[in-house]
Structure 1
Amino acid sequence: MRGVRNMTKVDQLRGEELIRLILDKDYPQVFALHEYAFQHQLTEEKKKLKQTRKMIGYFNEDKLMAKLEMIDFKIFIDDKEWNMGGIAGVATWPEHRRGNKVKELLLTSLQMLRDQKISISFLHPFQIGFYRKYGWELFSDELQINIPVNELKFMNHLKGQGQVKRVEVTKNLFILNEVYENFAKKYNGMLARSQEWWEDSVLPDQHCASYFNDDAQMLGYILYEIENGKLIVQEFISLSAEAKIGLWNFICQHDSMISEVELTCSNLENILFMLPNPTVKSILHPYFMARIVDIESFLNDYQFNECDESVIIHLTDDFALWNQGTIFIKKGKATFYPVKEGSNCTHPPKKGLHINIGVFTALLFGYKTALELKELGLIHGIDEELNILQSVITKNKTFFYDYF
């Protein structure tokens, strides 16, 4: 139980109630709660996978009332790998809901991540507003395009004699991952995938087709499945315009065996725009949420652009109180001054920008600009300071293709 939110303090939650790590003896209760909450049966393979993850539970004596899973990942921000703590499988038995048990589990998970020097956490929300209360904020959208078969129109290649080949993924995983990472580094938030993640979570049940240029260099791929007359593209990765067109034409080659294509991608890839008829059905979904776990650690690793002018940020975090304080950014360096314990400022400082931890996360990832957030009333301050802040943060935008 070492490292789980000062366990001696956790024991004081409520009588015999406590939060602790999930032990081997607890797995039957964990699987029963998971299957009840998410309404699907876990395969033996999935159960074994979950047993490799760190899990914490809220117990009354030895009876499990709520639980969550913590998964170690790496992500890209500005071409650099960061450690990220994924939160998944959050569930409570219905008779124990609305008793702040998930709130306590989330706080415990943040304290554990902080102890491990992991400054970022991601999760897929069942309800966005619920997790916003605890400091997570949207950082990624996904675009789903539905294309009827009569709209599958071939495009002319831009140049060369490149071709698309169906490939066996197990033999080509190294080069597939190279192509994926070249694509992923354009965006903030994309996973740096391990071989195990590819094999367990990305590739199962997927066909793969890759585009090769004249020099036999792979410049893109799609992962897809065909089900009930629908071709479902789970990933569309391209490193050039010719690869994008070549992969699109490969999809069109299925026009005699399907009635529809469903394609998921980033809106920033402009796939919808390139279609012969961009008015096909498309939906832009808010997708994943992110949270800065520990602002001081995060700022030490974040690459700010240099600027002679300085900016002051007053940061609030009502959930993880260690993030409350003031940030001073100048010449590419950020210094955090935490609020002193017991201090009570009756008159908020006039100079500087005022922002909460969730909105600050969305800003630093590049999901929203400072001006957009000000127009929504989510950043308070003068335009001059907003412009300085915008000039020193990432120029990359965000995307996330995975799910956990």
Structure 2
Amino acid sequence: MEAVVRRLTRADLPQYAALSAFAFQVDEQAQRGALRLLPPVALGAFTPDGDRLLAALRIWPFLAYFQGRPVPTGGVASVASWPEVRRQGLVGRLIRESLELMRAEGQAVSALYPFSYPFYRRYGWDLAFTQTLYQIPMGELDAFRRPPGGHFRPAEPDDLPALDALYRRFVRRWNGPLLRESSWWQQRVLNHPGRPAPGIGARRTVLWEDDHRLRAYVVYGFQSPDPQVPAAEQRLLRVYDWAVEDGGAFRALLSFLVQHDSMAATLILPAPSDWDFLPLLVNLRVEVQKKAGAMLRIIDMDRFLQQVVPPRPPVAPFGDDGSPLPEAVELEVEDELAPWNRGRWLLPLGPGPAQALPPDEPGPSGRGRPRLAGSIQVWSQVLSGYLPALQAWHLGLLTLVDPEAADPANPEPGTDPSDDPMGVDGPLRRRERLLRAFDRRLGLRATYLPDFF
């Protein structure tokens, strides 16, 4: 008989805690406590009689910033099954049913941290967040040793509203950061979400105030790669979370971190993928690692377009050389598991919202409109701001059908035939110009997700 899939109730939480503790090799009592404090929306697959939990996943009901606005987001986490029932399709069934559940809950997009990127690509998620990790010897921060004005102090419980306000001001410039509730701050950011591994110390939060205003904070701790040899010359100072008001506040933060040079030899500092710290350093021979992070999936294409793509373009609807552009571009989406996402949308390059096209409307070839076609995976990357459409096209992830570029009677304006004797550059330049205009029309911010779940 087939397994029964349903939402978990509080009565199921002990079984879920036992399954999660085994799957992720963590303390079961701690799992029970976390589930009691932060009960999740969860789906489970049970034996046909409904008694024994075989597999489960959790869906965090987040709000995440996209284009500066909070968008309902489903955070898929704690996907687990008992070893004796693995590779029987239970997890795949849970994931497919989670799509309908998240859509019913009004969540336009979903994020997750995968155990395997290829596994979740099969279900429509794809990489949308990277993080840059700087491993900086403390000696390279000598220029910041002089303390700035203002003052540093340890954070206290009453500081949480001010911490959250600074965090929100800082992260709204990216797409993807979570709006944190007080319980999330306490249990997932300021403290360890579980028992620390050997060699990892407690977290500490310090604020920097100037002119009676909170302008920076940092959550950090120490880590010894070899717990048996906790010498300072091998110890790492690891930053877990930080936010600053401006460049002066960031320099103040570095001046605080370098004061730990007698306690640690190296600073591990995470940064958004579009921030480059190398210009601040004297010796640029530091280790910089680009780390793949969370995956993203659009759950409801129509809802996501309405919430994220502005109805008016941030710039005038002309090519980067001043040439005229088509009035609109068609977006074609293929989604094997979410049939409500399959279809075409019309996005004006000038003012106007994106709108779904009727299924029976003829294709773009007869109207001269360009069409961009791709899977839900690549559209999740492009429309989140992680991957520009031009780059996705150059990588072969998006297909562009442009009737004008394919017309040999419509040459590139201003092109000297002697510069292009084979006649191939004109259509290429036309497509690139169109895709650059499409990216400018979207005006999307880069992605960043500092939280782990």
Give the alignment's TM-score, normalised by structure 1.
0.88
Identity %: 29
Tell me which of 320, 323, 335 is aligned to 2:355. Answer: 335
Deviation track 1:260-296 (CA, whole Å, cap 9, x = no partner) reads 2222221323224322223211211010111110112
CA contact 1:144–1:284 (8 Å) conserved in 2: yes
The yes-or-no answer on 1:181 pairing with 2:180 is no
The DSSP-based 3-state class of the residue aligned with 1:399 is coil
- Corresponding residue for residue 10 of structure 1: none
Tell me which of 16, 19, 30 is aligned to 2:16. Answer: 30
1:117 deviates by: 1.6
Tell me which of 300, 309, 315 is aligned to 1:294. Answer: 300
Deviation track 1:101-138 (CA, whole Å, cap 9, x = no partner) reads 11111111110111122111111111111111111121
What amino acid does structure 2 have at the position aligned with 1:47? R
The DSSP-based 3-state class of the residue aligned with 1:70 is strand
The yes-or-no answer on 1:393 pairing with 2:442 is yes
Q: 1:301 & 1:112 partners in 2: Cα distance?
A: 19
Tell me which of 31, 35, 43 is aligned to 1:50. Answer: 35
- Corresponding residue for residue 365 of structure 1: 384
- Corresponding residue for residue 268 of structure 2: 262
- Corresponding residue for residue 210 of structure 1: 207
Larger Rg, first or second structure (1 or 2): 2
What amino acid does structure 2 have at the position aligned with 1:53? P
The DSSP-based 3-state class of the residue aligned with 1:268 is coil
What amino acid does structure 2 have at the position aligned with 1:84? T
- Corresponding residue for residue 329 of structure 2: 311
- Corresponding residue for residue 89 of structure 1: 78
1:397 deviates by: 0.8
After TM superposition, the structure 1 = structure 2 runs for residues 152-167 of structure 1, keeping only pairs within 5 Å, are 152-155=141-144, 162-167=149-154
Q: 1:188 & 1:108 partners in 2: Cα distance?
A: 26
CA contact 1:352–1:385 (8 Å) conserved in 2: no
CA contact 2:145–2:258 (8 Å) conserved in 1: no
Q: 2:117 & 2:156 partners in 1: Cα distance?
A: 35
After TM superposition, the structure 1 = structure 2 runs for residues 101-120 of structure 1, keeping only pairs within 5 Å, are 101-120=90-109
Q: 1:88 & 1:394 partners in 2: Cα distance?
A: 30
Q: 1:96 & 1:338 partners in 2: Cα distance?
A: 43
Q: 2:355 & 2:72 partners in 1: Cα distance?
A: 21
CA contact 2:14–2:32 (8 Å) conserved in 1: no
What amino acid does structure 2 have at the position aligned with 1:353? L
After TM superposition, the structure 1 = structure 2 runs for residues 228-247 of structure 1, keeping only pairs within 5 Å, are 228=224, 229-247=235-253
Tell me which of 130, 141, 150 is aligned to 1:141. Answer: 130
1:250 deviates by: 0.9
The DSSP-based 3-state class of the residue aligned with 2:399 is coil
1:219 deviates by: 1.6
Q: 2:236 & 2:397 partners in 1: Cα distance?
A: 41
Q: 1:280 & 1:83 partners in 2: Cα distance?
A: 39
Q: 2:296 & 2:286 partners in 1: Cα distance?
A: 31
The DSSP-based 3-state class of the residue aligned with 1:188 is coil
- Corresponding residue for residue 7 of structure 1: none
Q: 1:332 & 1:278 partners in 2: Cα distance?
A: 46
1:314 deviates by: 1.0
- Corresponding residue for residue 159 of structure 2: 172
Q: 2:91 & 2:176 partners in 1: Cα distance?
A: 25
Give the alignment's TM-score, normalised by structure 2.
0.79
CA contact 2:42–2:56 (8 Å) conserved in 1: yes
- Residue-pair matches, total: 383
CA contact 1:230–1:261 (8 Å) conserved in 2: yes
1:210 deviates by: 2.2
Structure 1 stretches of at least 4 aligned residues deviating more than 4 Å after TM superposition: none
Q: 1:208 & 1:188 partners in 2: Cα distance?
A: 25
CA contact 1:164–1:209 (8 Å) conserved in 2: no
The DSSP-based 3-state class of the residue aligned with 2:344 is strand
Q: 2:63 & 2:242 partners in 1: Cα distance?
A: 21
CA contact 2:144–2:258 (8 Å) conserved in 1: no
CA 1:57–1:338: 2 relative to 1, 3 Å? farther
CA contact 2:309–2:354 (8 Å) conserved in 1: no
Deviation track 1:283-337 (CA, whole Å, cap 9, x = no partner) reads 1101011111011222222233434821101110011121000011122311113
The yes-or-no answer on 1:376 pairing with 2:395 is yes
Q: 2:114 & 2:148 partners in 1: Cα distance?
A: 44
What amino acid does structure 2 have at the position aligned with 1:323? N
CA 1:378–1:370: 2 relative to 1, 3 Å? same
Tell me which of 55, 76, 83 is aligned to 1:66. Answer: 55
Q: 1:311 & 1:156 partners in 2: Cα distance?
A: 53
